[in-house]
Amino acid sequence: MINLGYIAALPLGYLFVWLPVQEMLFGPAQKSSDLPVTIFNSSFIALDEHVSCPPHTYNTFILSHEPLVIYIENFLSPQESKHLIDISEDKFAPSTVSTGSDTSIRKDVRLSEVALVDRDDTVQCIEQRARAFQGWRPDLQIERLRTQRYGVGGHYSNHYDWSGASRNADRVSTFMVYVDAECEGGGTKFPRLRMPSVSKGRWCEFLECKDDDASTERIGDQDDLGIVFKPIKGNAIFWENLRPDGRGYEETFHAGLPVLSGTKVGLNIWSWGPARRR
């Protein structure tokens, strides 16, 4: 299992600035040793623009409380998915990974393309949905949305979405949204999450089950470690990356499994907020 400490690379737009702006975004700084701090300009975070959005409904299913993992059915409408694919098409560029200061293309770790999408009304409504889902927490900032396209062989090795690099801010939560899933393979694997009880309910629609016929008695509860979400267009996995004390949850280790045929497009929605507390 690979854990090279990579996180999805940050775009160039983030700034190193001093105390006053940090206070504006994250409240009063605690110690002078926390400086300088990393915070973000508007090319990195999505400022709330108060667009008016059409009504949208989705279904939610809690998979785990600790860490909090929630499966969301119909997070995107078919029209929103199509729109995201259309506006990404001419923006896709090879994905990179970051290790602290170093950002590089590492196809053995991550083989895909990403597109930073423009913040049109549809995109802003998706941002608003992500904010509302998290209770409009005033201490969270949504990172600019990016789609990620995988062709055959495309994958993303085991990693965390949090970096742990800063005491001031980190990716506190992730929405991993399936925008297009015309593929075989390409599931999202969490090797450290436990399989929920699958003898009742709909989990085997969303997760790979040992025997993918949920009606048979034989399935029962699968208590083994490791789950794989099937890529299903429009649906999303939401999870919290950080514990209440700001440390990362090791259970959120995850991978995008290789796409065996066809194309998969994901959408990353990351929320930044206060990280390790002291």
Ligand X SMILES: O=C(O)CCC(=O)C(=O)O
Which residues contact ligand X (rule: CB under 6 A)?
8, 148, 156, 161, 176, 188, 254, 256, 266, 268
Shortest Å, Cβ 28 to Fe ion: 31
Q: What CA–CA distance (Å, rounded) separates 143 from 44?
A: 6
Contact (CB, 8 A) for 101 and 12:
no
Shortest Å, Cβ 227 to ligand X: 12
Shortest Å, Cβ 212 to ligand X: 19
Instruction: Output the CA–CA distances (angstroms, integers) from residue 233 to 85, 109, 267, in the order listed.
Output: 12, 24, 11
Q: What CA–CA distance (Å, rounded) separates 240 from 63?
A: 12
* Residues within the interface to Fe ion (CB under 5 A): 161
268 binding partner (options ligand X, Fe ion, none; Cβ < 5 to 8 Å by kind): ligand X
CB closer to Fe ion, 159 vs 167? 159
126 binding partner (options Fe ion, ligand X, none; Cβ < 5 to 8 Å by kind): none
Contact (CB, 8 A) for 47 and 40:
no
Which residue has the closest beta carbon to Fe ion?
161
Which parts of the chain fold into alpha helices (H)?
A: 19-26, 78-88, 121-133, 203-206
CB closer to ligand X, 127 vs 180? 180
Two structure tokens written together for 233: 């267009």
148 binding partner (options ligand X, Fe ion, none; Cβ < 5 to 8 Å by kind): ligand X
